[in-house]
Amino acid sequence: MEVYATVIFLFVLFALLGSSVWIGLALMGVAWVGMELFTTRPAGDAMITMIWTSSSSWTLTALPLFIWMGEILYRTRLSEDMFRGLAPWMRFLPGGLLHTNIAGCTIFAAVSGSSAATLTTVGKMSIPELRARGYPEFMIIGTLAGAATLGLMIPPSLTLIVYGVTINESITKLFMAGIIPGLVLAGLFASYIVGWHFLGRGQRPAAEPSMSFSEMLGESRFLIPVLCLVFAVIGSMYFGWATATEAAAVGVLGALLLAAMQKSLNWRTFSASLMGATRTSAMIALILMGAAFLSLSMGFTGLPRALAAWIDEMALSPITLIAALTLFYVILGMFLDGISSVVLTMAIVEPMVRGAGIDMIWFGIFIVVVVEMAQVTPPIGFNLFVLQGMTRHEISYISRTAIPMVGLMLLMVVILVVWPELATWLPNTARGPG
């Protein structure tokens, strides 16, 4: 029964995806077929009930708010201000202003939650500036492609929200869990730049002109507003002043205030940000609806339980299971975006992960790291297409520049396995809202 159901599910799924049907509708189609073939329950009633239940989650309201916050900031002069504020402090580091890609993506990731928004916002300013200063093209593009994926890790992460809603886990704890691994991954990207600095001496650009300390402090004032917004969003959750949804509302108000201070808030940018957030939220909501219905349909077949029991009989160690799942998600990420990969697989993966005794908060961070690779691996690496539009390079060239960053993400998986406390310590120390 389970084998037959698996073949049917996979055949219908790949047939629909191969026909260019939207992912959310494809998931609903697979679930509908499963309900009709393997249950006596009316498929229509089941679909309506599950879609309403999955869509009426209070936690899920944080998703469109964080998306809107990122859309507002994307339309401000944030990228120019970040570059001006960061450049004086990055110029002394080995690798020079290339570090503005890493630092800029890290900061914007803390107010965005989207890898594509992070890439576009930071890249539209850093790419022309670094080119003008003579930095190698492959380093500019490679570091930007990798660092932009921090938008999926550092809170507020849209992928972590979707993961938390899917497995009914605390969004605030997941956000706290992503902070330290996100900073460690940013450190790995920065170490790659340092290594290039010492190994590629002939490719270094001319040294930046000197600045006095007072001038450096003066330029740093451009970073103060966005750093205040980061503290308002993340700090309010850590200290228990706000839930993730409440922090998202604070973030939207802060983003509107920041845009007003920069004189970039008008009716055109306001309406454009609102429509952009609506389109992205609707797309993600449709995927979540389809995934919820598919989980119900697969539950009736007993497929997740059977697969979890089969994995249990194999007596795999947690490390072996994580290694297998890493390979699985890297391959899956070549063909699906990160959020789709999470919602499509979680109904099957969650039981076996819980059965192996793996902490689900830690596993959420692991999922984000492997999903980050999907953003920079062909043929469906979304960051690659964004960079192609910004730089006019071939996808093959951009992919080659990102290969070292993919290697660093794999190293991050190893680091998480060796030191799981990187993801679990902060959630255990954070105060609950209230």
Q: Which amino acid is at 280?
A: T
Torsion region of 95: left, alpha or beta (phi above 0 gives left; psi -120 to 50 gives alpha): left
Report mean pLDDT in 10-residue bins for the chain, 434 residues: 64 73 78 78 77 71 81 76 78 84 85 76 82 87 88 82 85 89 93 87 68 75 82 81 83 87 84 86 78 73 64 75 85 71 79 84 91 75 76 83 89 92 85 54
- The C-alpha atoms of residue 67 and residue 72 are separated, in whole angstroms, by 9
CA 73 centroid distance within chain? 17
Q: Two tokens at 285?
A: 């909501």
* CA angle (265, 262, 146) in 5-degree steps: 95
- The C-alpha atoms of residue 302 and residue 50 are separated, in whole angstroms, by 18
Q: Cis (ω within 30 of 0) for the bond into 88?
A: no
How far apart, in Å, are the Cα atoms of 236 and each of 153, 171, 198?
18, 13, 41
- Boundaries of every domain in the chain: 2-429
pLDDT score of 431: 62
Burial 235-262 (b: 16+ CB within 10 A, else e): ebbbeeebbbbbbbbbbbebbbebbeeb
- The C-alpha atoms of residue 257 and residue 244 are separated, in whole angstroms, by 20
Q: What is the pTM of this model?
A: 0.80
- The C-alpha atoms of residue 172 and residue 431 are separated, in whole angstroms, by 10
Check: CB of residue 178 under 8 Å from CB of residue 169.
Answer: no
How far apart, in Å, are the Cα atoms of 141 and each of 90, 154, 205, 221, 311?
18, 21, 16, 28, 41
- The C-alpha atoms of residue 10 and residue 418 are separated, in whole angstroms, by 35
- The C-alpha atoms of residue 280 and residue 402 are separated, in whole angstroms, by 26
SS3 110: coil
Q: Two tokens at 240?
A: 């228990």
pLDDT score of 308: 61
- The C-alpha atoms of residue 201 and residue 283 are separated, in whole angstroms, by 46
| Terminal CA-CA length for the chain | 48
pLDDT score of 434: 45
Check: CB of residue 141 under 8 Å from CB of residue 392.
Answer: no
